Amino acid sequence: MADRATIVTGASSGIGLAIAQMLGEEGYGVTMSARRPEKLEAAVAQLQGEGLDVHGVPANVADEEEIRAVIAAHRERYGRLDVLVNNAGVGVGALLGDIQSKRLDMQLEVNIRSIVIFYRECLELLQQAAAEHHNALVVNTSSISGKRGEAWLSVYSATKHAVVGWTEAMNKELATQGIKSTALCPAFVDTAMTDFIKEHVKAEEMIRPQDIAESVRFLLRTSPACVVPEIMFVRPGDSL
């Protein structure tokens, strides 16, 4: 049984997969979750093939019951939660006049509502970890669009700003109890999400998913006295 355990959402590819791999390497028992079961199974098999203690629980984080099922499966397998990584996210570009309500709701549900529910439903487990070592951690993947509004990505930007605000609020509520929160705010990262722009911005000029995972490795090593509210990742020449 692992001494420490974590849940990572959006763990079947990109940033979430890199963070899950890093946490597995650090000795964590990892519950990997994502929406599409086959893609998740392949990611889980990859990390198990590297000898890591990971398992997969497919879930659509827009569905509250499915979130509860992820946490229940995690609790049953590991019995503890030291690090929660709220990473699942979606972005749908549209100019104001073209915003479809269904896509608006989906981005709100996946990018911010699910994070609120994950915190609430994981609170007891996080408090138990904090009572033991005073260093429970929640990492929320925001975006550089959570720091500056982006045309065409206005809804995505708004949800990612909400993630930064939520993280700040959670630090005010929970950090003195030993539950620290960090918002990750990257510019373009080379994942499936940025395929739409790779004709204009080369993949090799994008931030690597492993760069983001390394920042979480750093967070694991901070003392209980140190809260890191957010980390921004930009590319050379990016304006802030």
User: Binding residues for ligand NAP, per CB under 6 A?
Assistant: 9-16, 34-36, 39, 59-62, 87-91, 110, 141, 143, 186, 188-189, 191-194
Residue 32 CA to residue 77 CA, distance in Å, equals 12
Least separation, in Å, of the C-beta of 20 and ligand NAP? 10
Residue 212 CA to residue 11 CA, distance in Å, equals 13
The answer to whether 33 touches 57, Cβ cutoff 8 Å, is yes
Residue 168 CA to residue 185 CA, distance in Å, equals 13
Question: Which candidate, 109, 116, 138, 114, places its Cα nearest to that of 125?
Answer: 138
Q: Tell me the three state secondary structure of residue 181.
A: strand
Least separation, in Å, of the C-beta of 94 and ligand NAP? 16
Q: Tell me the three state secondary structure of residue 93.
A: coil
Q: Tell me the three state secondary structure of residue 139.
A: strand
> Is 28 an annotated catalytic residue?
no
Least separation, in Å, of the C-beta of 216 and ligand NAP? 12
Nearer to ligand NAP, 9 or 171 (CB): 9
Nearer to ligand NAP, 86 or 135 (CB): 86
The answer to whether 120 touches 64, Cβ cutoff 8 Å, is no
Nearer to ligand NAP, 13 or 181 (CB): 13
> Would you give the DSSP letter of residue 113?
I
Residue 82 CA to residue 101 CA, distance in Å, equals 36
Distance between first and last Cα of the chain: 44
Nearer to ligand NAP, 7 or 15 (CB): 15
Least separation, in Å, of the C-beta of 10 and ligand NAP? 3
Nearer to ligand NAP, 39 or 55 (CB): 39
Least separation, in Å, of the C-beta of 156 and ligand NAP? 7
Q: Which helix (H) or strand (E) holds 4?
A: strand 4-9
Active-site pick, 28, 78, 119, 156: 156
**Residues that are catalytic:** 156
